[in-house]
A and B are shown apart, each in its own frame.
Chain A
Amino acid sequence: EAQVTQNPRYLITVTGKKLTVTCSQNMNHEYMSWYRQDPGLGLRQIYYSMNVEVTDKGDVPEGYKVSRKEKRNFPLILESPSPNQTSLYFCASSPRSTGTPSIFYGYTFGSGTRLTVV
């Protein structure tokens, strides 16, 4: 089954304790991205990756790191989590845009990781 898998689904941690949320996709997609969802703000893009070893900042990258060493994996790292990073996080992937004009097929999202930092 084509899917984006995030782990863990739920996580409670303490301020300052480094954590990693994993994301893996089995669709051979080039693009991957991390979002956070907060009430009244919708989804905001944290980081994205256009391919292996190519990553760039989204709208709200502060306090987060990512890496893309393999095509299928795109972990989100919080080096020193703080309470304002309490949120619902989504990983997403999509194939490369094709054609002229380019056609974008939309992201496939994971089921989410609910993170609480106390």
Chain B
Amino acid sequence: DQQVKQNSPSLSVQEGRISILNCDYTNSMFDYFLWYKKYPAEGPTFLISISSIKDKNEDGRFTVFLNKSAKHLSLHIVPSQPGDSAVYFCAARNFNKFYFGSGTKLNVKP
């Protein structure tokens, strides 16, 4: 049973608009949440993280929001660029174990 779920396998967005990627989790013991970006034939690249004691973390064009009551995490990319086209994984940590979602493939159209 997956503890971290990304229910949208794909998302298509126009360049310059906002991309919103969503993630839901079931385990209230998770203390850290992360987003990774993955291009084909490469390993995932760390993007941004958020501690469970915060509700927002921002880094340039990327913002992660955490809603603990809803057990929901989202990644906002503003503005979206064609180079952002990749698969995005959310992940959550419980002690030293990590749980990943199945990924959302983002396509940013020029």
Residues of A that sit less than 8 Å from B by CB: 4, 31, 33, 35, 40-45, 48, 50, 56, 58-59, 90, 92, 101-112
Tell me what chain A mostly uses at the interface: helix, strand, loop, or mixed: strand
Query: Which residues from B are CB-within-8-Å of A104?
Result: 32, 34, 49, 93
* Interchain nearest-CB distance for A82 vs B (Å): 23
Tell me what chain B mostly uses at the interface: helix, strand, loop, or mixed: strand
Q: Is the CB of B41 within 8 A of A111?
A: yes
Q: Is the CB of A107 within 8 A of B96?
A: no
Q: How many chain-B residues does the 8 Å CB contact rule pick out? A: 27
A17 to B27, CA, bound (A): 38
A41 to B32, CA, bound (A): 20
**Contact A42-B89, Cβ < 8 Å, known A106-B49, A109-B44:** yes
* Interchain nearest-CB distance for A77 vs B (Å): 20
A88 to B40, CA, bound (A): 12
A4's contact among B43, B49, B102, by CB below 8 Å, is which? Answer: B43
Q: Is the CB of B43 within 8 A of A90?
A: yes
Output the nearest chain B residue to A97 by Cβ-Cβ distance: B32
Q: Besides A43-B91, A105-B46, A112-B42, 8 other CB < 8 A contacts?
A: A4-B43, A42-B6, A43-B100, A45-B97, A59-B99, A101-B31, A103-B51, A111-B43
